[in-house]
Amino acid sequence: MPAPVLALTTGEPAGVGPDLTLQLAATASALPGRVVAIGDPQLLADRARQLGLELVLEPCDPGTALPAPRPGVLPVWPVALAAPAEPGVLDPANAGYVLETLDVAIAACRDGRAQAMVTAPLHKGVIIDGGHPGFTGHTEYLRDACGVDEVVMMLATRLAHGDGGRALRVALATTHLPLREVADAIDTEGLSRVLTILDADLKRQFGIARPRIAVCGLNPHAGEGGHLGREEIEVIAPTLARLREGGLDLVGPLPADTLFTPRHLHGIDAVLAMYHDQGLPVLKYAGFGRAANITLGLPIIRTSVDHGTALDLAGSGRADTGSLQVALSMAADMARARRA
Ligand X SMILES: NC(=O)C1=CN([C@@H]2O[C@H](COP(=O)(O)OP(=O)(O)OC[C@H]3O[C@@H](n4cnc5c(N)ncnc54)[C@H](O)[C@@H]3O)[C@@H](O)[C@H]2O)C=CC1
DSSP class per residue in 120-176:
----HHHHHHTT-TT---HHHHHHHHHT-S--EEEEEEE--SSSTT-EEEEEESS-S
Local structure of 268: helix, strand or coil: coil
CB of 48 to ligand LD2JLWAY, least distance (A): 25
Site for ligand LD2JLWAY in 285-304 (CB under 6 A): 293, 304
Q: Is 138 annotated as a binding residue?
A: yes
**How many whole angstroms separate alpha carbon 124 and alpha carbon 178?**
14
Quick one: what does residue 312 bind among ligand LD2JLWAY, ligand X, none, with the CB cut-off 5 to 8 Å set by partner type? ligand X
129's CB contacts (< 8 A; 6+ apart) are 92, 95
187's CB contacts (< 8 A; 6+ apart) are 235
Residue of minimal Cβ distance to ligand X: 308
For residues 293-316, one letter each, b for 16 or more C-beta atoms within 10 angstroms of the residue's C-beta and e for the rest, the string is bbbbbbebbbbbbbbebbbebbbe
Quick one: what does residue 143 bind among ligand X, ligand LD2JLWAY, none, with the CB cut-off 5 to 8 Å set by partner type? none
Q: Which is nearer to ligand LD2JLWAY, 149 or 245 (CB)?
A: 149
Quick one: what does residue 310 bind among ligand X, ligand LD2JLWAY, none, with the CB cut-off 5 to 8 Å set by partner type? ligand X
Quick one: what does residue 280 bind among ligand X, ligand LD2JLWAY, none, with the CB cut-off 5 to 8 Å set by partner type? ligand LD2JLWAY
Q: Which is nearer to ligand X, 125 or 225 (CB)?
A: 125
**Pairing between strand 56-59 and 292-296?**
unpaired
Quick one: what does residue 144 bind among ligand X, ligand LD2JLWAY, none, with the CB cut-off 5 to 8 Å set by partner type? none
Binding to ligand LD2JLWAY by CB under 6 A, coded x per residue (else -) over 23-52, reads ------------------------------
142's CB contacts (< 8 A; 6+ apart) are 102, 106, 151, 295, 298, 300, 302
Contact residues toward ligand X (CB under 6 A) are 16, 119, 121-125, 138, 293, 304-305, 307-310, 312-313, 319-320
Q: Which DSSP symbol is given to 85?
A: -
Q: Which is nearer to ligand X, 87 or 121 (CB)?
A: 121
Q: Which is nearer to ligand X, 273 or 305 (CB)?
A: 305
Local structure of 249: helix, strand or coil: strand
Which chain residues interact with ligand LD2JLWAY by CB under 6 A? 137-139, 280, 293, 304
